[in-house]
Amino acid sequence: MINNQSKYGNIFFRGIAKLIDLLLILVLWKFFHEGGFFTGIFYLLISDGLFKGCSIGKKFLRLKVINIERQSKADFRDSIIRNLPLALAAFFLLIPILGWLICIALFAFEFTLIVGDPDARRLGDYLAKTSVIEE
């Protein structure tokens, strides 16, 4: 278990990294219109495997995803499993109003798991057996 000061600092920087990634997804969505949404979802799924355990947002903030069992940087398989809950939540964005509320609720659920978990892991981390650490 990590100390609370380090844990909450990690959560803050993880949130900023995810915000950077979500802004990139939004740009893809708006730039490529309908195809951009699916391009963005594809990026979300593989993002943590792009730079040996780092998405673009994590790369900027010097964070990386590791597979706990293998003690190695996350690969594309880990990334897809880890980000599947968020990708599924994003599909609700295609449904006006109610879908947006469901998406927000699912992201809030993941955030609540991170804050409440002693190791700051979310559902996707448990599914993929991963954790986010500082580089």
pLDDT digits (tens, 9 = 90+) for 58-103: 999 999 999 999 999 999 999 999 999 999 998 998 899 999 999 9
54, 64 Cβ separation under 8 angstroms: yes
Which position has the higher pLDDT, 8 or 38?
38
119 and 133 in contact (C-beta within 8 Å)?
no
pTM assigned to the model: 0.86
Buried b / exposed e across 81-120, counting CB within 10 Å, b at 16+?
bbbbbbbebbebbeeeeeeeeebeebbeebeebbeebeeb
The four Cα atoms 69, 71, 74, 77 give a dihedral, to 10 degrees, of: -30
Q: Tell me the helix, strand and coil percentages in the chain, rounded to 5.
A: 70, 10, 20
pLDDT in tens, 33-49: 778 889 999 999 999 99
